[in-house]
């Protein structure tokens, strides 16, 4: 069911994807990936508060057996926090994902670091003048 919901959401049928993932949650309410994936659907539907609730739930349900889901949920929560201007919280989540080896989390940390951003901007200017 979970994969079907993801497939439907990826093809734009968000309502049907949400319906199916809700049924999956009824069947397996302790499965963290279901909440993380429903949070993605909520983001596409621009229901950011619901997405944040689901990501929090996914994180709370994760154990050592769910490292991938834990990493993805922290990444998604970081995006939600960044979107809402909670940059310290976003940075904390991206630090967790970076320590887990997530490249997106690492890149977000660089973007959130004002010194790194300034350095990247200066490097880009130098490279542009050398062309």
Query: What CATH number does the domain containing 76 carry?
Result: 1.25.40.10
Structurally, the chain folds into a number of domains equal to 1
Distance (Å, whole) CA 101 – CA 80: 20
**Domain ranges, residue 117:** 2-130
What is the 8-class DSSP label of residue 18? H
Q: What is the mean pLDDT of the chain?
A: 93
Give me the pLDDT at residue 116, please: 67
Q: How many CB atoms lie within 10 A of CB 85?
A: 8
Give me the pLDDT at residue 117, please: 62
Coil, helix or strand for 43?
helix
Question: Where in the chain does DSSP place strands (E)?
Answer: none
Q: What is the pTM of this model?
A: 0.84
């Amino acid at each position: 069911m979970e994969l079907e919901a993801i497939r439907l959401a990826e093809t734009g049928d968000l309502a049907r994807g949400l319906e199916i993932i809700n049924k999956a949650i009824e069947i397996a309410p302790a499965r963290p990936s279901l909440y993380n994936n429903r949070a993605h659907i909520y983001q596409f539907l621009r229901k950011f508060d619901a997405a944040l609730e689901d990501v929090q739930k996914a994180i709370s349900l994760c154990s050592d057996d769910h490292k991938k889901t834990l990493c993805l949920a922290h990444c998604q929560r970081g995006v939600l926090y960044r979107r809402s201007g909670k940059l310290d919280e976003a940075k904390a989540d991206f630090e967790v994902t970076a320590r887990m080896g997530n490249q997106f989390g690492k890149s977000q940390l660089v973007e959130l670091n004002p010194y790194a951003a300034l350095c990247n901007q200066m490097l880009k200017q130098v490279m542009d003048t050398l062309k």
